[in-house]
Structure 1
Amino acid sequence: MSVSGTKTKALTAALLLAVPLSVYASDREETAEAQKQQVAQTQESLKPVPLGTSSIAASGAALVATSGASVAAANKIGLVDSLQDGLEITIAATGLKAPWSMQFAGNKVYITQRGGGIIEVNDGNEKLQEVRTKKKLRVEGEAGLTGFVLDSNFAKNKYAYIYHAYEDKGQPLNRIVKVKLVNGVWREQKELLAGIPGGRIHEGGRLAIGPDGMLYATSGETNKRELSQDRSSLGGKVLRMTTSGLVPKDNPIPKSYVYAYGLRNPQGLAWTSDGTLYASDHGPSGAPIPGGGTDKTGRDEINVIKAGANYGWPLVTGTETAPGITPPAYVAGDRSIAPSGIASTPDNKILVATLAGQSLKVFDPVTKQMSDLLTGEGRIRDVAVHNGQVYVLTNNTAGGTPGPEDDRLLILK
Structure 2
Amino acid sequence: MKRAIIIVSFILASTTLFFCSDDDSNTNSNGEDGNETPVEATRTVIETLSVPWEIIWGPDNFLWVTERNGKISRINPDTGTQQELLTINAVTSIQESGLLGMVLHPDFETNPYLYAVYTYENGNQLLERLVRFTYTNDSLSDETILLDNIPANRIHNGSRIFISEDLKLFMSTGDAGNISLSQDMNSLAGKILRINLDGTIPSDNPFTNSYIYSLGHRNPQGLVLHPNGNIYSSEHGPDTDDEINIIASGKNYGWPNVKGIIDDIDEEVFAQKTEIIPPIFSWTPTIAPSDITYYDKDKIPEWSNKLLLTVLKDKRIIALTLNADGSQITNEEVFFDQQFGRIRDIAIARDGRVFIATNGESYGDTSNTHRIIEINKIE
Same fold, judged at TM 0.5 (above) = yes
Structure 1: which 5+ residue stretches go unaligned? 14-50, 57-85, 285-296
SS of the aligned residue for 1:125 comes to coil
* Contact 2:355–2:372 under 8 Å retained in 1: no
CA distance in 2, matches of 1:147, 1:156: 22
Identify the residue that residue 98 of structure 2 maps to in structure 1. Answer: 144
Identify the residue that residue 342 of structure 2 maps to in structure 1. Answer: 379
CA distance in 1, matches of 2:367, 2:90: 31
1:65-84 alignment runs, 5 A limit:
none
CA distance in 1, matches of 2:125, 2:321: 41
* Contact 1:12–1:92 under 8 Å retained in 2: no
CA distance in 1, matches of 2:294, 2:209: 30
CA distance in 2, matches of 1:208, 1:55: 41
SS of the aligned residue for 2:65 comes to strand
Amino acid at match of 1:220: G
Q: How many residues align?
A: 331
C-alpha distance 55-183 of structure 1, shift in aligned 2 (>3 A): farther
CA distance in 1, matches of 2:366, 2:312: 13
1:328 equivalent in alignment to 2:261: no
C-alpha distance 389-270 of structure 1, shift in aligned 2 (>3 A): same
1:15-164 alignment runs, 5 A limit:
53=26, 88-105=41-58, 106-122=60-76, 123-131=78-86, 133=88, 136-164=90-118
Identify the residue that residue 355 of structure 1 maps to in structure 2. Answer: 312
More strand per residue: 2
The alignment yields a C-alpha RMSD, in angstroms, of: 2.6
C-alpha distance 265-153 of structure 1, shift in aligned 2 (>3 A): same
Structure 2: which 5+ residue stretches go unaligned? 1-9, 30-38, 263-267, 297-303, 324-328
C-alpha distance 400-141 of structure 1, shift in aligned 2 (>3 A): closer
C-alpha distance 270-229 of structure 1, shift in aligned 2 (>3 A): same
1:181 maps to which of 121, 127, 135: 135
SS of the aligned residue for 2:160 comes to strand
Identify the residue that residue 314 of structure 1 maps to in structure 2. Answer: 256
Residue-by-residue CA offset, 1:24-64 (whole Å, 9 max, x unaligned): xxxxxxxxxxxxxxxxxxxxxxxxxxx974979xxxxxxxx
Please report how far the alpha carbon of residue 398 of structure 1 lies from its aligned counterpart in structure 2 after TM superposition. 6.4
* Contact 1:237–1:262 under 8 Å retained in 2: yes
Amino acid at match of 1:332: W
The structure 1 segments of at least 4 consecutive aligned residues displaced by more than 4 Å after TM superposition are 400-405
Residue-by-residue CA offset, 1:127-163 (whole Å, 9 max, x unaligned): 2414355x71111111000011011122343211000
1:190 equivalent in alignment to 2:200: no
* Contact 1:97–1:397 under 8 Å retained in 2: no
Identify the residue that residue 17 of structure 1 maps to in structure 2. Answer: none
Please report how far the alpha carbon of residue 115 of structure 1 lies from its aligned counterpart in structure 2 after TM superposition. 1.0
Residue-by-residue CA offset, 1:215-263 (whole Å, 9 max, x unaligned): 1111011110000001121000111111111111111111111111100
C-alpha distance 257-401 of structure 1, shift in aligned 2 (>3 A): closer
Amino acid at match of 1:96: L
Please report how far the alpha carbon of residue 187 of structure 1 lies from its aligned counterpart in structure 2 after TM superposition. 1.9
C-alpha distance 353-140 of structure 1, shift in aligned 2 (>3 A): same
CA distance in 1, matches of 2:42, 2:96: 28
C-alpha distance 403-200 of structure 1, shift in aligned 2 (>3 A): closer
* Contact 1:303–1:329 under 8 Å retained in 2: yes
* Contact 2:95–2:364 under 8 Å retained in 1: no
Amino acid at match of 1:270: V
* Contact 1:278–1:303 under 8 Å retained in 2: yes
Amino acid at match of 1:314: P
Identify the residue that residue 243 of structure 2 maps to in structure 1. Answer: 301
1:230 equivalent in alignment to 2:184: yes
| TM-score using structure 2 length | 0.80
Identify the residue that residue 212 of structure 2 maps to in structure 1. Answer: 258
Identify the residue that residue 122 of structure 2 maps to in structure 1. Answer: 168
Amino acid at match of 1:99: P
* Contact 2:20–2:40 under 8 Å retained in 1: no
CA distance in 1, matches of 2:209, 2:28: 56
SS of the aligned residue for 1:309 comes to coil
CA distance in 1, matches of 2:186, 2:91: 25
* Contact 1:349–1:365 under 8 Å retained in 2: yes
CA distance in 2, matches of 1:156, 1:262: 37
CA distance in 1, matches of 2:70, 2:366: 19
Is 106-115 or 259-268 further displaced after alignment?
106-115
Please report how far the alpha carbon of residue 167 of structure 1 lies from its aligned counterpart in structure 2 after TM superposition. 1.7
Residue-by-residue CA offset, 1:337-379 (whole Å, 9 max, x unaligned): 1111110122542111110121011122324332212212111
* Contact 1:180–1:188 under 8 Å retained in 2: yes
Identify the residue that residue 372 of structure 2 maps to in structure 1. Answer: 408
Amino acid at match of 1:326: I
More helix per residue: 1
Residue-by-residue CA offset, 1:76-105 (whole Å, 9 max, x unaligned): xxxxxxxxxx99212222222101101222
C-alpha distance 354-52 of structure 1, shift in aligned 2 (>3 A): closer
Please report how far the alpha carbon of residue 120 of structure 1 lies from its aligned counterpart in structure 2 after TM superposition. 1.5
| TM-score using structure 1 length | 0.74
